[in-house]
Structure 1
């Protein structure tokens, strides 16, 4: 899953703190800057652009509409404002989305999902299988056979339709090589195949006879993914 760098520009402390909290709950976002002064933010972004900017409109010295024009296409922008009258002008500036304060987590997740679709590069074609080392030899694991992966300290258990395979590697490394459109991290110790998911019960996912926990850190992004893809 590609990680997007993001910056908050807002002169109001409470909305700024709320956005920080939402970003920390979203696995594919990384907060790289928080600014109250739009001129300072402009200087920083000219030196090092971010993938995504959460930009307030009503600010002293330089408003968000002016700042967006100065930024050009170097960063994608989501406007965050209490004033709906700027929506049309905002969309004419080709912003990703326009969020009205107070911003709910659900609405925030929809906006950043749109941003990810516009920013993240097209995934490279991946082989339909993994090659993993186990018991002194290299074994081929077809991706369509893989139901979920479970971290067991320095090992990972690959649960497939044919049985369990133990391999010496980290789940983080496995997450990097598995295609993001087919597999998703739902817990610090678990990656699941979306195609193998049979249901969700409270905070766990049913795959065959197994129940996979959904970690609090991953829950919001996972539920948003399920809603967008209409998987259940």
Structure 2
């Protein structure tokens, strides 16, 4: 999700930028300490998510959002609780009270990611069910960033979340319940969704989510397969 920060406090800008870099799903395309300058950028640059302070000079965050012709998802950030109602009146995804913790930030990002997924057509509505922490968890295949093998269990890394789903299963076992086409093993420790691969260089796969994973010699045929998919 392409995102922008607008906040007149340098410390807040710095903290939000640091948090954003911790989430591969987020891509920071602009940050502004001036609301007017930020509004000018938004007029000609479509984005998916806006982190914006409410109490700013010249133009408040509420006024800026209300005037946007094309409105992205909004997460308001402020030191004042009294603006919460106005924020939700503008259909904000969330309202973060300063000082913002990484845990609270993550919850807001997860809400935005869910809304983002709802707005776009899924690659597939297929899903799998795995057991994790004594629960059965349904996972949409289009939500999988990659799968990591860890000896007797695997971690299913999901788009928009820093916390993978961990389940007692081998990579061979998960391949047996995944669709025959669409997922590829690239290493003894990794499986990737073919549609999540952005580029391959020097036996290293870069995913759309920003992760970089190695391709081992035993699975070099994946590189040729992926290249052929791009030209077909």
Residues 89, 123 of structure 1: CA spacing in aligned structure 2 closer, same or farther, 3 A cutoff? same
TM-score, normalization: structure 2?
Answer: 0.58
Residues 162, 49 of structure 1: CA spacing in aligned structure 2 closer, same or farther, 3 A cutoff? closer
In 1, are the aligned partners of 2:5 and 2:52 still within 8 Å (CA)? Answer: yes
Aligned pair count reads: 155
**1:21-73 CA distances to partner (integer Å, 9 max, x unpaired)?**
00000110000000011111111111012100000011111000100101255
Q: Quote the residue 2:93 is aligned against.
A: 96
Q: Quote the residue 2:122 is aligned against.
A: 123
Residues 97, 72 of structure 1: CA spacing in aligned structure 2 closer, same or farther, 3 A cutoff? farther
Question: Highest relative contact order (Cα 8 Å, sep 6+), 1 or 2?
Answer: 1
Distance 2:65 2:95 in 1: 13
- Give the root-mean-square deviation of aligned CA atoms: 3.5
> How far 1:110 sits from its partner (Å)?
0.4
**1:116-146 CA distances to partner (integer Å, 9 max, x unpaired)?**
1112324222778xxxxxxxxxxxxxx9xxx
> How far 1:161 sits from its partner (Å)?
2.8
Distance 2:70 2:190 in 1: 32
SS at match of 2:171: strand
> How far 1:188 sits from its partner (Å)?
4.8
The 5-angstrom pairing of residues 52-131 of structure 1 reads 52-120=49-117, 121-125=120-124
Residues 162, 41 of structure 1: CA spacing in aligned structure 2 closer, same or farther, 3 A cutoff? closer
Residue segments in structure 2 that go unaligned for 5+ positions in a row:
128-140, 150-169, 176-183, 197-208, 215-232
Which residue of 147, 160, 165 maps to 2:172?
A: 160
In 1, are the aligned partners of 2:65 and 2:71 still within 8 Å (CA)? Answer: no
In 2, are the aligned partners of 1:148 and 1:160 still within 8 Å (CA)? Answer: no
